Structures are given as structure tokens and as C-alpha cells.
Amino acid sequence: MNPNYDINELYSKIRGKKILLLFLLTLALLAMIFLSICLGAVPISIQDIFNPDSRLGALIFNVRVPRVLMAVMAGICLAIAGTMMQGILRNPLASPYVLGIAAGASFGAALAIALGLQFVLGKYALFMLAFIFSLITMFMVYGLASKHEASVETLILAGIAIGSLFNALVSFLIFISGESVYGIIFWIMGGLWSSSWEQIYIILPILSIGFIIALWFSWDMNALSMGDEMATNLGVNVKLSKVFLLTLASILTAVTISITGTIGFIGLVAPHIARMIIGTDNRFLIPASGLIGAMVLLPSDTLSRTIINPAEIPVGIITSMIGVPFFVYLLLKKRKGWWA
């Protein structure tokens, strides 16, 4: 019996199972999308969704559908970013916020609200300042870490330091902002209440390009997850790949939280659930994490707008309630060989 044939046959079976899992996750997400569109202050039936002449048409296509799609895309972005950071940094507790990006975006948004820039420069002033300061944070962290060859430990410590700085600045703005304090706090809590088709058009191309690039470099991420020395032996430019992929993860995070506000724990929880289901091969882990990220954020948002109807809870509160117990679980159950 040819041993190579047995190996190839075994690999084909494993790959087939993983593709089937991705297909089932996709079907589950589609079912959740339709359910989320139906649920809300005004109940909607499946027939109404597919009836363009329905009296609820404006509510469905101008309010529910954009919000549901934004939840899906934001969940995918944050989960993919978390997967990339955990693999590259080889740290199971890494997330899109580990480099202080969320703190930088929060400061940009708080500054725009405190100065009333959205009334002067238009409705996208808040988004633009949040995005700009998230990128500034990213460059500050990389610049600080580059002084010590951008090691994993230095990157994390630099992220914590810069993030703490921007969190302090946000607290200062809250202290002096007067009536604007409520807008700042509400944005920091995170939410999808402002979702619109215009925002969908902003995030969709960035998500699409980021997802394609992440899949293209999935083999490099597999090598990096085994350590720098092994990755170098396999022909990967370790330093360049780390900076490029972490930058990509940072941009996905920055764009998302600039639109939605701070939504925590999606990038931490989703990759771990996906890793438990589908394994550590990034060719399958990246799409699985994205799907699970959407499947975590979408019902969380649905719950946030229905649990105390007609009022609405910021979705960041819901995701934190889910994420904190899972974070504690990881701390208690962390084991050797997690990345094997």
C-alpha cells in the first residue's frame, strides 16, 4: 500500500470535513440574519422581507437590513483581526484591542463630540477622527516597539502604555465636556444604532480586501504561529510579515470601531471558538472565525435592541457580559501546546 496515498486520502477527508463545517456555519449565519431582521420593536414576518410592496418595506430596507449587515461585517472584521493577532503574537489572550487601537479611536471620537465637530464638518467628522487617531495609535505603538526590534512582548507593552495614555485623555475630555459627556460615554459603550447603507459601502470593500489578503497570507501565518525561527526556515520574512499583517489587522479594527464604537471581546472569543471547532490551520480558521464573530455580534445586537424594548442597551455591554466569563475561562484553562 502506498503511504503517500493514505496521507493524501486522510488530508482530503479532513479538508472535506472542514469545508462542510464552513458551509454549515454559513447556513447558520444566514438563518440568524433572517431571524434578526424579523425581531424588533415592530415584528416582521418572512413574507414581509420578500415582499417589496410591504407597508414595512422602508423599515426593513432602510433600518433593519443595514443594521443586521453592519453587525455581520463588524463581527467578521473584529474576529479576523483577533485571529491574526493571536496567531502572529502567539498569545491566546491577544485581541484587536491589545495594541491600544480602541483607546486611540475612542479619543478621536470623544474629541469630535466634545468639540462639536460633527455639526461643523458634517456627520463623518466623528468617524474620520476616530479612524485617524486609531492609525496614529498604531504608528505610535509600532514606532515605540521598533526601538527594541518589535518583539511580541514589546508590542504588547507598548500597546498597553499608549492605550492607557489615550484612555486617560478620554477621561479628561469626559471631565471637561459638560453636556457632551453623554454622547462620549454612549459612543464608548459601542452600538449599531447609526448603521446605514453609506456605512455599509465604507466597510464592505475594506472587509473584502482585508479578507482576501488574510487568506492569501494564511500559510505565512501558519508558519509564524510555530515561532520565528521555524518561519524563517520555511522562507517567511518574519519582520516584514509581522508588521504587514498586524497593520492589516489594525486597519480592520480601526475601520470597524470608528463606525460602531468600542465593541469588546469579539476578537478574543470568536477565534477561540473557531479554533475549537475547526483547528489551527489559518486557511480554514480565518473564515470560520469571521463567521463565528458575526454569529456572536449579530444576536448580541438583536438582544440589545429587544431585551428592554423600546429602549436599547449598547451592544458593547452585551458582548462584554459574554466575553468576560470566556476570558476568565481562558485564564483558568490555559494549557501548554495551545498553538500546536
Summarised one tens digit per residue, pLDDT across range 102-122 is 889 889 888 888 888 877 776
- Higher-confidence residue of 284 and 88: namely 284
Mean of the per-residue pLDDT values of the chain? 85
177-212: per-residue pLDDT in tens?
877 788 888 888 888 988 899 999 999 999 999 999
Is residue 112 a part of any domain in this protein?
yes
In a domain, residue 309? The reply is yes
- Give the C-alpha separation, 71 to 35, whole Å: 13
Q: Which CATH number belongs to the domain containing residue 73 in this structure?
A: 1.10.3470.10
What pLDDT is recorded for position 339?
A: 46
C-alpha cell at 300: 448580541
Average pLDDT on 140-148 reads 78
pLDDT in tens, 235-245: 888 888 888 88
Evaluated on CA atoms 335, 337, 339, 340, the torsion sign reads negative
Question: Which tops the pLDDT comparison, 51 or 242?
Answer: 242
* Helix ranges restricted to H, 217-314: 218-224, 228-233, 238-260, 266-278, 282-304
90 within a domain of the structure (yes/no): yes
- 3-class DSSP assignment, residue 334: coil
Residue 11 lies in a domain: no
Q: Determine, yes or no, domain membership for 103.
A: yes
Query: Cβ(66)–Cβ(130) under 8 Å?
Result: no
Q: Is residue 195 part of a domain?
A: yes
CA angle at residue 36 from 255 to 183, to 5 degrees?
45
Q: Is the pLDDT of residue 55 over 80?
A: no
For residues 145 and 286, the model is more confident at 286
Q: What is the pLDDT of residues 295-308, one digit of tens each?
A: 999 999 999 988 88
Indicate the number of domains in the chain: 1
Distance CA 227, CA 246 (A): 16
pLDDT at 59 over 90: no
User: Residue 222: which domain range?
Assistant: 25-39+67-333
Percent of the chain with pLDDT over 70: 91
What is the pLDDT confidence band of residue 337, given thresholds at 50, 70 and 90? Answer: very low
3-state secondary structure of 1: coil
- What is residue 95's predicted lDDT score, i.e. its pLDDT? 79
Instruction: Please determine, for residue 37, whether its predicted confidence score (pLDDT) is greater than 50.
Output: yes
Residue 79 lies in a domain: yes
In a domain, 255, yes or no: yes
Model confidence at 336: pLDDT above 50? no
